[in-house]
Amino acid sequence: MTFASIEFLFYFLPLFLILYFAAKELKTRNVILIVFSIVFYSVGYTPHLILLLASIYANYRLALAIDQREGAARQRVLILGVVGNALLLAVFKYTGFILQNVNVLLEPLHAQIPVPAISLPLGISFYSFHAISYLADIYKRRVHANRSLMEFTLYMCMFPQLVAGPIVRYSSVARQLGERRTTWGRFSAGARLFVIGLAWKVLIADEVARLADSVFDATTNPTVLEAWAGLYAYTIQIYFDFGGYSAMAVGLGVMVGFTLPRNFRLPYAALSITDFWRRWHMSLSSWLRDYVYITMGGNRKGPARTYANLWAVFLLCGLWHGASWNFVIWGAHHGAFLVLERAGLGRVLKRLPAAVSHLYTVLVVMLGWVWFRAETVPEAIDMFEGLVGVNGLSGQSTAFGFGLHPLSITALVVGGLIGFWRWPRPKVLSGEGLLAASADYAMVGVLMLFCVLWVGGGTGTPFLYYRF
């Protein structure tokens, strides 16, 4: 089940909201939220629910054990918890990748290791990182272990953020698990954010998806026109798909009284790659900074160690996104530019006109998306050849023509205008009083109407970050 589906919008969400707000006691509301979260998750593949619940209980017990111990014993339990969560993620996400690469090395010996077919549990990358940060924060005495299994279960599995984030620190919602309230103003603000995120997903991301797919999946030897159009389409798609999901998740959280972390802040308006990572998938980048980069020494041990730490963190970032060499290269790509900017390029960018720094950032990010989107290294190289004109300038494949249509062109233009520049809020929406409120509600209502029509048409695509 996804947020942008008929089942969620017309059945799951209305029923949840009716039951949730009909309950007066917070404990009852927590139970309702947990039950609906379990149903939401189990619709995808029920056996993976057992893994999620086992992870929740194991981390609940580990957290209590850390909180009750001191010194070396406390550290041993932390190591056990971190290694256990990392192994869980590694077994389900990286076993096939590791064995495939081992088999490549074994080919000269005419030996092969069977590669088991292990399905990736939905959201495991996110809830594993939730658990690791929770245990680490208890170890560092930033928070105490929650002794309520129900509240901890709610933290780990509430459906707005369970499947694709944002990555929520326990400290940011600890108080809200046991004490929160929802006003009409907060509920309407959350609903507004949800609708905007839904519009980003179905009206922009899904409309440009066919063009991106037609170039990356169905066009061989793309020309310059095809390659750049497909890459631009994917650049728009991934931002409005993942950004739309994050906005919906945060909006749903606000509707029921939770304040979830913001995940995007106009990343394509950044003026450097360093700035980009302060704006893109902010909950992941801050998680990697606080729990990996700083733990490795950060920038405290000299320039060489700082550069190595940055690169190592972004290799991990690439692997976190997926078990393939393309993701590793994507992480190395961003790590390389972060190192260059730390070494001096960043100072140069600050002295250049903002338009030049902006163009540099957009080009680096877009070229990185080639590695992120292509399924294999040869496919990525084929795309790069198209971008530099090896396959000619124009020419148009049948698949490319199918993906390029009036709605996708409109979505490309609107997505670019929204995504790459900051615009002042229209005065009619930014003022106070009845006129501004009416205009705002009208805008949200029109967006919701269009979204319902698009979702009802059945042309949507799954969220991209469901893969991770």
Per-residue pLDDT for the chain (468 aa), expressed as one digit of tens each? 788 888 888 899 999 999 999 998 999 999 999 999 999 988 866 778 899 999 999 999 999 999 999 999 999 999 999 999 999 999 999 998 899 889 888 888 888 888 888 888 888 999 999 999 999 999 999 999 999 999 999 999 999 988 777 999 999 999 999 888 888 889 999 999 999 999 999 999 999 998 998 899 887 888 899 899 999 999 999 999 999 999 999 999 999 999 998 899 999 999 999 999 999 999 999 999 999 999 898 888 888 899 999 999 999 999 999 889 999 999 999 999 999 999 999 999 999 999 999 999 999 999 999 999 999 999 999 999 999 988 887 766 666 666 778 888 899 999 999 999 877 666 555 556 566 667 777 878 888 888 888 887 765 677 777 776
Ramachandran region, residue 323 (left: φ > 0; alpha: ψ -120 to 50; beta: rest) = beta
Residues 190 and 327 in one domain: yes
- One domain, residues 147 and 203: no
- The answer on 203 and 267 residing in a single domain is yes
Q: What is the pLDDT of residues 312-357, one digit of tens each?
A: 999 999 999 988 999 999 999 999 999 999 999 999 999 999 999 9
Q: Is residue 17 part of a domain?
A: no
| Greatest distance between any 2 Cα atoms in the chain | 77
Would 20 be classed as within a structural domain? no
| pLDDT (0 to 100) of residue 460 | 60
The DSSP-derived string for 67-97 is HH--HHHHHHHHHHHHHHHHHHHHHHHHHHH
Question: Residues 136, 278: one domain?
Answer: no
pLDDT at 367: 97
**Domain-located, residue 113:** yes
**Cα–Cα distance, 174 to 181 (Å, whole number):** 14
Identify the pLDDT of residue 455. 80
Whether residue 151 is found in the same domain as residue 239: no
- How many residues are recorded in the chain? 468
Show the tokens assigned to 442: 């009208």
Please tell me the predicted confidence (pLDDT) of residue 435: 64
- The 8-class DSSP code of residue 260 comes to P
Q: How far apart are CA 196 and CA 282, in angstroms?
A: 19
DSSP single-letter state for residue 269: G
User: Do the domain assignments include residue 385?
Assistant: yes
Q: Are 196 and 166 in the same domain? A: no
Show which of 112, 147, 180 is a domain's final residue.
180
Contact at 8 Å (CB) between 204 and 414? Answer: yes
Tell me if 436 is assigned to some domain.
no
Sign of the dihedral through C-alpha 437, 443, 444, 446: positive
Same domain, 237 and 160: no
Catalytic residues: 321
Does residue 453 belong to any structural domain of this protein?
no
- Please state, in angstroms and as integers, the Cα–Cα distance from residue 367 to each residue in 100, 142, 177, 313, 426, following that order: 27, 39, 42, 20, 33
If one counts the domains in the chain, the total is: 2
Instruction: Say if 443 falls within a structural domain.
Output: no
37 vs 35: CA distance, rounded Å: 5
Closest CA relative to residue 283, chosen from 133, 166, 143: 166
How far apart are the C-alpha atoms of 80 and 60, rounded to whole Å? 13
Q: Which residues contact 410 (CB under 8 A, 6 or more apart)?
A: 207
Task: Decide if 279 is inside a domain.
Answer: yes
Q: How far apart are the first and last CA of the chain?
A: 16
| Whether residues 167 and 220 fall in one domain | no
Q: Are residues 252 and 129 in the same domain?
A: no
Query: Is the dihedral angle over the CA atoms 188, 192, 193, 197 positive or is it negative?
Result: positive
- Domain end among 180, 208, 239: 180
The confidence score (pLDDT) of residue 255 equals 94
| Contact present, 244 and 396 (Cβ < 8 Å) | no
My answer on whether 235 and 335 are in the same domain is yes
Query: Which 3-state string (H, E, C) describes 10-38?
Result: HHHHHHHHHHHHHCCCHHHHHHHHHHHHH
Q: pTM for this one?
A: 0.91
Domain of 350, in residue numbers: 186-423
Token pair in block for residue 322: 């997926």
The answer to whether residues 233 and 408 touch, using CB atoms and an 8 Å cutoff, is: yes
- Residue 130's CB: how many other CB atoms inside 10 A? 25
Tell me: cis bond preceding 121? Omega within 30 of 0 counts: no
Same structural domain, 128 and 259: no
Indicate if 192 and 163 belong to the same structural domain: no
